[in-house]
Structure 1
C-alpha cells in the first residue's frame, strides 16, 4: 500500500494485482462500504463518488478501487468475467481486514454497479460472516448465477424505471434471494441515473439500507421484510 490506513483519505495499492483504490475513513466510522464498479467504469466514476461522499458524511468508511488493471481492462471479456471480478473483491475484503484493527472491526457492506453487482453478490455468498449488506445500482445480479440462493446478506436492488430489460433481470434475481431483500425502482431513470434527482434517490435508498444493516441496530441480525 502507498500510505497508512487512518482517519482521512488514503491512496492504496492492493496486492497481489496492485489494484489502485481510494480509502476514506471518517472519524468514528460505523461501517466500511466497498464499491465494485461495473463494465466500462472505474474508481473515478462520478456516480459512485457521489454515493461514497454521501456515505462518508454519514460516517461510513468507503473504498473505491479498480477491479481490473489497465492491461486487463483492454480485454472486454474481463469486464464480464464474474469469477475474476468476485475473486478480486473477495481478496480486497480479506486484505482490508488485516491491515489495521480499526478497519478489521468495521462491519462491511458492498455497493455494486452493473457487472460489479454480480461480483458483490458472489463475494457476499463466499464471505457470509464478513459482509453484512449489499446494494446494487443498475446492476446485473442475475450474473451471480448459482451464488444467489447462498447469499446471507440483506440485499437491496436499485433500478431505473426506464431501464426495462434490467428491471426484468433484477426481478428474476430477487426471487432467488432468501434474505431480507428489496427492489427499488427509480421512476423515469435510465441505466446511468443521469436524470434530475435520480442519483439523489439512489443515495437515499442506499444510505437507508446501510443504516439499517451496518449500524448498531442493524447488527442484531437480519429481519424479515
Structure 2
C-alpha cells in the first residue's frame, strides 16, 4: 500500500495508536520527514508535539546508505556491519562524525529556535519516522527520548524493514508499523508525494500544533526529584544513603562508595544528577562509616563491602519494587562486581575507574549483569586493572577509554562524557530486559 503523502501516512498510522489517547504521552517527530507524520498523530491523539533531533551519518560515496546517526544529548549510534562493509576508515568515520555533530548543533538551534524541549519524565514518548530502513536514525531518536526521561518509548512508522525493526526492539518498548516488510527499498517508493521537508515546513508544523500548558497532559519541568536521606539496614549497623526517585522511575542505581561521605563525592553527585535527569532512581550509599574508613583494611575488604551492597539491593527492591543496577568507583568497583556475581537480578553495572579486578576471577566469571568499564587513558594502572577484570568475564561487557583523562576525570568535559556513557549503558540494557519481558520470553 502506498501513501498519498506523509500527512496521509500519519493519519492512517494514528488509528493504530488510538489506545494512547488520554494517556500521558508526548509525540516526537524525527526531522525532517517524520515531523509531518508526527503532526497528524499528535493532532489525532490531542497530544503535545516535539522533536527528537537526529543527524544521519552517510557513506560519502553512497549517500543513500547510512552507517549511523547522532542525536541530541550526546546520543551516538553506529551500524558496525555497514562500517565494515563500506570500507570506511577510522579517520574518515571520525571526520564524518565531527562534521555531523556540528551540523546537528546547528539544526537544533534552527529547528528549536529557543523553544525548550518538552519534559518527558514520567510520560510515554511516541517517536515518529516516515520510514525505517537501516534503523540508525530511529534508534538514535529512541535513545534521545530515553535520555530525556521518557518512562516508555513507542516507535511508530508507516513502513519499515523487518530486520531493522527487530533490532530496534532493544531500544523501544513497543513498535507500531502497519507495513513491516522484508525489503522496503527506497523510502520514496512508498509515497505518491515524497517532497523534501524544509526548515520552514518544520517551523510551521510546530507552530500549528496546539501549545500545551505546563499543567496539561501532566507535563512538568524536567528537574530531578529531590533526594531524601535514608538509613539502609544491615546485619551490623544502618548505612547512610541518599535516595532519589524521579516520577515513573524504572530502575534504581546504587552507587557503591567504599567509604564514608559518598553523598558529597563530586563524581558520584555529578553522575547521580545525570541519571536522575534521565528518569533513573539513584541511591548514593556509604558502605563504610567514618570510623571504619580510618582502617584501610576495610576499604579493601571486598567480601564485606559486597555483602553490604547486596543487603542494600534487597532493601531497595522491598522499598521501591524496582530493579537495581550498580555504579561504582575505587574499590567499590570490585565490591559491585562481587555483589553482582551473587545476584542474577542486578540489571547492569558501570565501573568508573576503580579496582574491578579485586572481585577475583571466580566471581567475575559468574557475573551475568552487562558491565561497562570507564577508564581515563592517562591512568594506565586502572586501565590494566579494568582490562584484566574484563578478560575474566563471560557476560556482555565493554571497556571504554576516555582520551586525555586521568583517574579522577577532572579534565574539562571528562565527567560529562562519563555521565553520558553511564546513562546510556543503564538505559539501553534496561530497555533490552523490558522488551524481553514484554515479548513473553521465558
**Match 1:84 to one of 299, 304, 313:** 304
Aligned counterpart, 2:243: 23
Q: Which runs of 5+ in 2 are unaligned?
A: 1-224, 437-442
Aligned counterpart, 2:292: 72
Q: Structure 1 residues 189 and 40 mapped into 2: Cα distance closer, same or farther (>3 Å)? A: farther
TM-score, length of structure 2 as denominator length:
0.46
- Asked if 2 retains the 8 angstrom alpha-carbon contact of 1:82 and 1:144, the reply is yes
Match status 1:203 vs 2:419:
yes
Aligned-partner Cα distance in 1 for 2:255–2:246: 16
Task: For residue 139 of structure 1, give the secondary structure of its aligned residue in structure 2.
Answer: coil
- Asked if 1 retains the 8 angstrom alpha-carbon contact of 2:249 and 2:280, the reply is yes
Aligned-partner Cα distance in 1 for 2:342–2:280: 23
- Asked if 2 retains the 8 angstrom alpha-carbon contact of 1:211 and 1:218, the reply is no
**Match 2:390 to one of 155, 174, 185:** 174
**Match 2:228 to one of 2, 5, 10:** 10
How big is each residue's C-alpha offset from its partner over 1:11-55, in whole Å with a ceiling of 9 and x where there is no partner?
A: 101123111100000011121100001467622101111000010
TM-score, length of structure 1 as denominator length:
0.89
How do residues 59-138 of structure 1 correspond to structure 2 at under 5 angstroms?
59-99=279-319, 103-104=320-321, 106-128=322-344, 130-138=345-353
**Match 1:51 to one of 271, 277, 298:** 271
Aligned-residue Cα RMSD (Å) equals 1.5
Q: Which runs of 5+ in 1 are unaligned?
A: 1-6
The offset of 1:70, in angstroms, is 1.6
How big is each residue's C-alpha offset from its partner over 1:126-156, in whole Å with a ceiling of 9 and x where there is no partner?
A: 111x201000001211000020000000000
Task: For residue 178 of structure 1, give the secondary structure of its aligned residue in structure 2.
Answer: coil
How big is each residue's C-alpha offset from its partner over 1:49-92, in whole Å with a ceiling of 9 and x where there is no partner?
A: 10000100110000001101122112111001101110110010
Task: For residue 328 of structure 2, give the secondary structure of its aligned residue in structure 1.
Answer: strand
How big is each residue's C-alpha offset from its partner over 1:182-215, in whole Å with a ceiling of 9 and x where there is no partner?
A: 1000011111000011101101110110011123
Task: For residue 168 of structure 1, give the secondary structure of its aligned residue in structure 2.
Answer: helix
Aligned counterpart, 1:155: 371
- Asked if 1 retains the 8 angstrom alpha-carbon contact of 2:302 and 2:359, the reply is yes
Greater mean alpha carbon deviation, residues 41-50 or residues 202-211: 41-50
Aligned-partner Cα distance in 2 for 1:41–1:185: 27
Aligned-partner Cα distance in 1 for 2:355–2:418: 16
Q: Structure 1 residues 93 and 40 mapped into 2: Cα distance closer, same or farther (>3 Å)? A: closer
**Match 1:144 to one of 359, 366, 373:** 359
Aligned-partner Cα distance in 1 for 2:337–2:393: 10
The offset of 1:107, in angstroms, is 2.0
Q: Structure 1 residues 23 and 213 mapped into 2: Cα distance closer, same or farther (>3 Å)? A: same
- Asked if 2 retains the 8 angstrom alpha-carbon contact of 1:109 and 1:214, the reply is no
- Asked if 2 retains the 8 angstrom alpha-carbon contact of 1:139 and 1:157, the reply is no
How big is each residue's C-alpha offset from its partner over 1:139-185, in whole Å with a ceiling of 9 and x where there is no partner?
A: 21100002000000000000000000111111111111111111000
Q: Which of 1 and 2 has greater Rg?
A: 2
Aligned counterpart, 1:4: none
Q: Structure 1 residues 185 and 205 mapped into 2: Cα distance closer, same or farther (>3 Å)? A: same
